[in-house]
Amino acid sequence: MGRRVCVVGVGLADGPKTPDMNGLMLEAQAFKRALDDSGLARDEIRGLASAGYGGMHEVMLAEYLGLTPQWLESSSVGGSSFEFHALHAFRAIEAGDVDTVAIVYGNNQLSASGRTLGTGGGARRGGGAMAMPHPMAYEFPTGLTLVGAYAIAAQRHMYQYGTTAEQLASIAVQMREHATRNPNAMYRDPITVDDVVGSRLVADPLHKLDCCVISDGGCAIILTTEDRARDLPHRPVYVRGAAAGMTHHSIQGMPDLTRTAGAVTGPKAFAEAGITPADVDTFQMYDSFTYTVLVCLEDLGFAPKGEGGAFVADGNLRLGGRLPTNTDGGGLSNTHPGMRGLFLLCEAARQLRGEAGDSQVEGAEIAVAHGSGGWLSTMGTVVLGTEPA
């Protein structure tokens, strides 16, 4: 049918610390806020997507939210799951399979488990080495942590292209600058490059401040047809293009530690949207680690391969720079409740609606949300715009 698809509702749950709320409650709060924001009635939501909790979570969530959807999506591919969801919802609405879809996520990871992610804390829940998916069952006992996997890739980029720890640190500094303008961000005190490289070394070359925060939080977006969007209160944000893919599961299977599936998904989504990297006004990127940002900037064509370090060190990610990135403070300073991919879509939509407050990118017309999942394993790229493609 080729119908145009729009984001019409955005909702953020409380955070970054919500000790009295579990993940399901955070999802419900985010959904209710997105629904109110959209102006839609609850019974108009005919599709639901969610990820991260195991079998049938989206079914339980639908019941909890009072929904009886005819279209369900539960792809769970790590932090980029929600860009996959947006892609699939985009295609389904475009084709006429469903009219309106909510994508919802919430997690109280900080309150539930504290700072154990990537440091072996999962064993506290009764798992052992062989309970992990193969071949990680053979990697983790040797000392390879989640952070260590990213550190291996960062080391390779440094060796191959001369990237420095200071260049990586500049990414964290610029994300913190954005967080200082966000009253809800987990960390708001300014930091310097020296602060980053002087923070505790977690896995060489990644320091504590090169790593994302762990928080509570939740997020939801609602997508529907252009025809329905015209009658709703907010300016519609068009989905102009989307693509997703993977290259490997565990880090030892990554074909090239300096290249991700974003080198395919970025150009593919940009081509569908009818844009080039130079047309992008703001980039909402999954900053699990500073290296994630660096390699994906290159893969999507914002900087030539190997020159991402110089690009970020020049301050191009700042508000007013060539590519304002993670204007809410990102995962490095704002919020990261287990997975962050949906927050990228929320902030991209808010920017295009002119609702980003002190972090608003003036005249923003094209925004890109790019999620990364696993160990640089899965990538999803979604192009949003104030006008259709």
Instruction: Quote the Cα angle for 211-242-339, to 5°.
Output: 30
pLDDT at residue 131, rounded to an integer: 57
Q: Which domain holds residue 222?
A: 5-111+214-385
Residue 126 within a domain = no
CATH of the domain at 268: 3.40.47.10
SS3 (DSSP) at 115: coil
pLDDT at residue 313, rounded to an integer: 98
Q: Mind listing the pLDDT tens digit for each residue in 233-256?
A: 999 999 999 999 999 999 999 999
Residue 91 within a domain = yes
The DSSP line for 254-323 is: -S-TT--THHHHHHHHHHHHT--GGG-SEEEE--SBHHHHHHHHHHTTSS-TT-HHHHHHTTTTSTTSSS
Alpha-carbon dihedral sign for residues 220, 74, 245, 154: positive
Residue 269 within a domain = yes
- DSSP strand pairing (201-203 vs 366-373): unpaired
Residue 168 within a domain = no
pLDDT at residue 125, rounded to an integer: 39
- The number of distinct structural domains making up the chain is 1
pLDDT at residue 141, rounded to an integer: 81
Residue 193 within a domain = no
- DSSP strand pairing (101-107 vs 47-49): parallel
pLDDT at residue 192, rounded to an integer: 98
Q: Is the pTM of this model over 0.85?
A: yes
Report in angstroms the alpha-carbon separations of 27 from 61, 99, 108, 203, 380.
Answer: 8, 21, 10, 33, 22
Q: Which of 289, 290, 329, 341 is nearest to 311 (CA)?
A: 290
Residue 183 within a domain = no
String of b and e for 231-261 (b: at least 16 CB within 10 Å)? ebebebbbbbbbbbbbbbbbbeebeebbbbb
Q: Which amino acid is at 196?
A: V
Residue 307 within a domain = yes
pLDDT at residue 127, rounded to an integer: 35
Instruction: Quote the Cα angle for 107-109-111, to 5°.
Output: 115
Positions of the chain with pLDDT lower than 50, given as ranges: 115-130
pLDDT at residue 118, rounded to an integer: 40
* Two structure tokens written together for 5: 């698809």
Residue 349 within a domain = yes
pLDDT at residue 133, rounded to an integer: 66
